[in-house]
Copies of this chain bind each other. A is one copy, B any other.
Amino acid sequence: MSELLSKAPFTGRAARLLASPDRKSGLEKAEREALVLRFSGIEGDCHGGLIRKSDSRMVKQYKRGTTVRNTRQLSILSTEELAEIARSMGIPDVRAEWVGANLVTAGIPDLTLLPPSTRLQFPSGAMIVVDIENLPCRYPAAIIERQHPEQTMGFVKAAKHKRGVVGWVEAEGEIRVGDAITVWLPPQRLYAHA
């Protein structure tokens, strides 16, 4: 694949890392200094697994509950896009904990618009593959509304194309807060027959 991948002209940084050991607490996650990435996802995170049951996001492709490969092992958002969402909503901040983030980046422009199959590489050798943009859902909206009933725009609208991406682990390793992130982009072109 990778003679086809080109290094982006910027380097990102791991600004925050989060994990949640169980789903009881909903989307909210706990801060970590480091995460260990395995082929099955984040060690000790409840969204791990090589496979998962398909959900409402995939009803056009799969009957709900179909066993599929887990391409949502990590939820990745950017500091810059979270700040833009907060600004649109008229609130001081949108915290990574509220939106289910595992990795919050800094320095990757328009993170949500990274092409599918982009690779994010860490100093340990750990590599995350971007599957696709994450769609804003109503769960963060409810959490944020509890915190900020005064908001001027709803989360789902404000977060459109700013809600980050989901991805999975291509190579194992530890990732740490402050790590540089090398971004490998696939060839850029539009498919003429869409």
Q: Which residues of A contact B (CB under 8 A)?
A: 1-10, 39, 50-51, 57-62, 66-69, 71-72, 109-110, 113-117, 119, 121, 125, 127, 129, 131-133, 135, 166, 168-172, 184-194
Assess whether A192 is in contact with B113, with CB atoms less than 8 Å apart: yes
Count copies of this chain in the complex.
2
- Residues of B close to A185: CB separation below 8 A: 191, 194
A9 and B193 contact, CB distance less than 8 A: yes
Check A187–B133 contact: CB distance below 8 A.
yes
Given contacts A67-B171, A132-B117, A193-B110, contact A2 B60 (CB under 8 A): yes
A129 to chain B, nearest CB (A): 8
User: A171 touches which one: B2, B69, B189 (CB < 8 A)?
Assistant: B69
